Chains A and B, each alone.
Chain A
Amino acid sequence: SAVISQKPSRDICQRGTSLTIQCQVDSQVTMMFWYRQQPGQSLTLIATANQGSEATYESGFVIDKFPISRPNLTFSTLTVSNMSPEDSSIYLCSVRSGAGNQPQHFGDGTRLSIL
């Protein structure tokens, strides 16, 4: 499966600031996704990153708070804007190749703490 690199692996940020997380894949993939795992919770899909167009957001997530870019088939960024302590979570990038029922593969995540 593809090798997925996320940067940074962790960060501690001040409230009100923004942080951009990068996801780089070593091969072209069809789909890229961003998930959040809040403390003690399961994984929740934030959005699907679409190449060359606006991301598709799930209920409860908006572009102003989580702007996403996907300029090509191997790279995407997620920005967490105007952070508050409630945004302290692990943010994960995942990818899927091909169509139909195929597994998603995940990066190691970015552990974000907001003071």
Chain B
Amino acid sequence: DQQVKQNSPSLSVQEGRISILNCDYTNSMFDYFLWYKKYPAEGPTFLISISSIKDKNEDGRFTVFLNKSAKHLSLHIVPSQPGDSAVYFCAANNAGNMLTFGGGTRLMVKP
């Protein structure tokens, strides 16, 4: 049973446009959500997080939105740059130590 799902395995966006990556979860006990970016042959790099008491968190070009009633979060990247091309994972935590990861979305930003 996948508690965290990223239904789009890949996404292609033109440079300068907005990238929107989506993530759905089923466990209502999750209270902290994170996005990681992963380049080949490197470990995941933390990007941005959001607590369940918020519905939006912004850091530069990256904004995460949380819709608790829909159990849905999204990552917006504006403007997208070729260097943003990577695999993006969403992850969720339920007040313990365990992070549950989605399957990842491969973002390709075309120049």
Contact = CB atoms under 8 A, between A and B. Distances in A.
Interface string B15-49: 00000000000000001101010000111111001
Contact of A43 (B32, B41, B93, B101): B101
6 contacts: A42-B89, A43-B89, A104-B34, A104-B46, A108-B42, A109-B42
B103 A101 contact: no
Given A104-B46, A106-B44, A108-B43, 10 more contacts: A4-B43, A42-B101, A43-B44, A43-B99, A92-B44, A101-B51, A103-B46, A103-B49, A104-B34, A111-B41
B70 interface: no
A31 interface: yes
B8 to A, nearest CB: 14
Interface residues of B, number: 21
Interface residue range, chain A: 20 to 34
Nearest to B2: A42
A41 B103 contact: yes
B46 A45 contact: no
Given A33-B97, A101-B31, A101-B49, A42 B43 contact: no
A108 B45 contact: no
Contacts of A94: 43
B34 to A, nearest CB: 6
Contacts of A45: 98-99
Interface string A29-42: 00101000000011
